[in-house]
Amino acid sequence: MSKPAILVARAVAPEAIDRLRPHFELETNPDDAIWSREELIAKLQGKVGAFTSGGERIDAALLAQCPELKICANMSVGYNNFDIDAMTAAGVQATNAPDVLTETTADMAFTLLMATARRVSEAEAYLRAGLWKKMSFDMLLGSDIHGATLGILGMGRIGQAIARRGAHGFGMNVIYHNRSQLDAATEATVKARYVSKQDLFKQADHVVLVVPYSPASHHTVAAAEIALMKPTATIVNIGRGGLIDEDALAAALAANKILGAGLDVFEGEPKINPGLLALKNVVLTPHIGSASGPTRKAMATLAADNLIGYLINGKAVTPLNSPKPR
């Protein structure tokens, strides 16, 4: 009896491939090529499962051309590449990789927060350009993190991990806004206080975005929100690029309306808004929030386990929907 066929759409940890191989016939992408939509559809023919990275758009039009597909397993926690309603209607299981990247991504949020507040990228460029000739009182003055007010927009697993770091590690006053308020016990654990979205932008010395992206959250932060911020404040985005109106942010940064920004995600990634590239007071990283070796291996392993769980054992490990099997 032949094994079920699955497609691994990007190059992933060898451990994940080794985990899948006993159960499936694999088509892999060792060169890590970026396939066009037409190429992806062609490669999905005859496949019952797909191991996706978060960049492959799975929607009704694609599913209509891939009638044998039963599951798509994202290696990322985000899944805005999935049309969940269309997948459910088509009888296709969707899964993601939560939990395993929480702490590493929270570390990255603080990396960007600290680099932005203390102007690390700007300082390094200043030094490398040979401009450092002497010490001076006002050279590259930044903003303190310890004791400051940290505003977190989005208070899921990662938001709570960021809150713990801020409150317990840096003695920060942590405020947050979320679709729903956390229970009192969780608020006490992470030492965070619920406020309105408007008050968060007014009060925070440092804002961190950890909101899942959807059409409803598109440009959650635009000119109006940025205008509420203190001139000494910073903003960090580790959620998704579309959460911020990048033109409005670039304009505010260019006019020094806020101190700086730290961005790991971008609306048109891997293309970057030229207005941001031209600025000194923004720290830019190429979507590396979960990019530690152990974490990426854990993400790939969980995606593999979702494929094995659903196609071999009949139950996904971390399902996003409850489709009727095709």
Across the chain, the runs of DSSP E, i.e. the strands, are 5-8, 25-27, 49-52, 71-74, 93-95, 149-153, 173-177, 192-194, 206-209, 234-237, 260-263, 282-284
240 is catalytic: yes
Q: How far apart are CA 315 and CA 242, in angstroms?
A: 33
Q: How far apart are CA 71 and CA 326, in angstroms?
A: 10
Q: Which helix (H) or strand (E) holds 1?
A: none
Pick the catalytic residue: 118, 165, 177, 287?
287
269 is catalytic: yes
Chain position carrying tokens 């992206």: 213
Question: If you compute the radius of gyration of the chain from its CA atoms, what whole number of angstroms results?
Answer: 22
Q: How far apart are CA 239 and CA 237, in angstroms?
A: 6
Q: Token digits for 162?
A: 């960021």
Q: Token digits for 196?
A: 């309105």
Largest CA distance in the chain: 75
- Rounded to the nearest 10 degrees, what angle do helices 102-117 and 157-164 cross at? 50
Q: How far apart are CA 66 and CA 45, in angstroms?
A: 6
In Å, what is the CA distance from 53 to each residue of 10, 143, 226, 242?
A: 7, 36, 32, 18
Pick the catalytic residue: 240, 246, 267, 296?
240
Q: How far apart are CA 36 and CA 34, in angstroms?
A: 7
110: closest CA among 210, 244, 240, 221? 210
66: closest CA among 104, 28, 38, 30? 38
CB 7 within 8 A of CB 44: yes
Pick the catalytic residue: 218, 219, 269, 326?
269
Cite the active site residues: 240, 269, 287
